Amino acid sequence: MHLAEDGLGSGREGMVVGLADMPDLCVKLYYDPPADGGAKLDALIRSPLVRLGGDHAEHQHLAWPLARLTDGTGLTRGVLMPRVGGAPLDKLFDPVLRADALEEPTWRTVLVTAARTARLMSMLHAAGAVMGDLSPANIMVSRTGHVTLIDCDTVQFRDAATGRMHPCTKVTPEYAPPEAHSAPRGAVLETHHDSFGLAVLICQLLMEGQHPFEGVPADGSDTDDVESNVRLRRNRITRPELLVPMANELPAPLLPPTALALARQCFEPGLYEPARRPGPEAWFQALDQAGFELMGCRFNARHLYHRSLGTCVWCARVARNLGESYPSPVPSVGGPAWAAPAPAASQAGPASADTREQSEPPVAAPPAPPATTSTAESWDTVKAVLTVLAVIAFVVIRVWVL
């Protein structure tokens, strides 16, 4: 076994390196030996999750640890894992990177990827494990939108052989619920922990990478980090008036209605009551159904949106000079030669909660019908054709007579 020259990535615990002679495998090398001497890795390796398959023969849901690597003294120095192709999930947040990462870079593929992520979390919870460090950096997506969890040596699970609980060793603050921000390192997590991070991640996927809790407080507070916004319920889904609007902000009703209801449930009553957060299975069912409720756009085949919107939100953003989220691979012919009206300035202050729930994304005016050719122009064309035919006939007759 020989290490490749180039590393595949690095984190707080170690770095991942490929193998020159085994392209389907890689190793994670720890900066420091695990404090438990490798007991958690041994338990992971004999866990039934190592046999969890994928969506098809060439896919795997988990990059599960396969073998513990030790040095000459017996200290654990790393772990052997499957090498997963594809791109980190956050590549789907950016239009340019998304076009490189997916064969079909459409909102439908993003929606399906979100649904598959929720289903994978549901499978993990059913097996008694909690991801804990749920973030886009720990999820790889294939070119067809199939997802794989990596960095699995950090998950929380109970060893069936010994009954010992092995805690999650790290969390990413931007995807952690409020109770995790004050919990001691290595505290036992509930599945509700993952439910919060999953809700944030799904909102980001469907809303062009816009984190629901990221932004500048509208009250001028200097505590504008995500952790503070989570603690104070400042988010763009349920309380957008608490954050300064972004120039390219996507409105919450872009989410399918059932998904929007789940997000509101998670970020309001579920924020400080973890048991009230929708679980991964609820998210999967909602997103899976929403995939059958999408509308297409006549100007761009890659513009897909939920039927509840009534008009193409992506065309409306192009008309407002907010960029093209899903550029067509073929230049459009006769595209929408219109501009959506600029939103009127509100003089009434922040909208009430009831008003926000009924609001919809800015709706663009319908495209103008294509211009038709005038009658005079059509008659001039006909006369020109008849003149040409007359000349041809005259020449043919003279040749025949001579």
232: domain CATH number is: 1.10.510.10
The mean per-residue pLDDT over the stretch 251-268 comes to 97
The pLDDT-based confidence of 389 (bands split at 50, 70, 90) is: very low
With tokens 């025949």, the residue in question is 400
Query: Per residue in 32-73, pLDDT tens?
Result: 999 889 999 999 999 988 888 889 988 999 999 999 999 989
Q: Which residue blocks in 169-225 are alpha helix, DSSP H?
A: 178-181, 191-206
**Does one domain contain both 155 and 38?**
no
Choose one of 52, 83, 114: the last residue of a domain.
Answer: 83
The pLDDT-based confidence of 304 (bands split at 50, 70, 90) is: very high
- The reported pTM is 0.80
For residue 366, pLDDT beyond 70: no
| Dihedral sign from CA coordinates of 203, 208, 209, 211 | negative
**Does one domain contain both 122 and 228?**
yes
- Answer whether residue 78 is part of any domain: yes
- Answer whether residue 51 is part of any domain: yes
- Answer whether residue 92 is part of any domain: yes
- Answer whether residue 158 is part of any domain: yes
Q: Look at residue 5 in the predicted model and tell me its pLDDT.
A: 67
**Does one domain contain both 178 and 267?**
yes
Per the prediction, the chain carries an average pLDDT of 83
For residue 364, pLDDT beyond 50: no
Strands (E), 146-239: 147-149, 157-158, 165-166
Who wins on pLDDT, 283 or 332? 283
Across 6-10, 128-132, 237-241, least confident range? 6-10
**Does one domain contain both 79 and 89?**
no
> For the chain, what is the domain count?
2
Choose one of 266, 293, 320: the last residue of a domain.
Answer: 293
For residue 351, pLDDT beyond 60: no
* Tokens, residue 68: 């513990």
- Answer whether residue 142 is part of any domain: yes
Q: Parallel, antiparallel, or unpaired: how do β-strands 25-30 and 67-70 relate?
A: unpaired
For residue 391, pLDDT beyond 50: no
Which domain covers residue 7, as residue numbers? 1-83
With tokens 């503070």, the residue in question is 228
- Answer whether residue 159 is part of any domain: yes
**Does one domain contain both 63 and 211?**
no
**Does one domain contain both 137 and 181?**
yes
- Answer whether residue 6 is part of any domain: yes
| Dihedral sign from CA coordinates of 103, 106, 110, 116 | negative
CA–CA distances in Å: residue 209 to residues 60, 72, 146, 268: 25, 45, 19, 21
Phi, psi of 166, deg, nearest 5: -105, 110
- Answer whether residue 393 is part of any domain: no
d(C-alpha 7, C-alpha 18), whole Å: 7
For residue 353, pLDDT beyond 60: no
**Does one domain contain both 136 and 283?**
yes
357 by Cβ neighbours in 10 Å (0-12 / 13-18 / 19+) ranks as: middle
The pLDDT-based confidence of 168 (bands split at 50, 70, 90) is: very high
Return the CATH number at 6.
Answer: 3.30.200.20
**Does one domain contain both 99 and 167?**
yes
The mean per-residue pLDDT over the stretch 318-334 comes to 81
The pLDDT-based confidence of 368 (bands split at 50, 70, 90) is: very low
Query: Per residue in 275-301, pLDDT tens?
Result: 999 999 999 999 999 999 999 999 999
**Does one domain contain both 60 and 100?**
no
**Does one domain contain both 196 and 79?**
no
DSSP letter (8 states) at residue 370: P
Choose one of 29, 53, 83: the last residue of a domain.
Answer: 83
Q: Look at residue 240 in the predicted model and tell me its pLDDT.
A: 95
**Does one domain contain both 196 and 65?**
no
% helix / strand / coil in the chain, to the nearest 5? Answer: 40, 15, 50
**Does one domain contain both 68 and 199?**
no
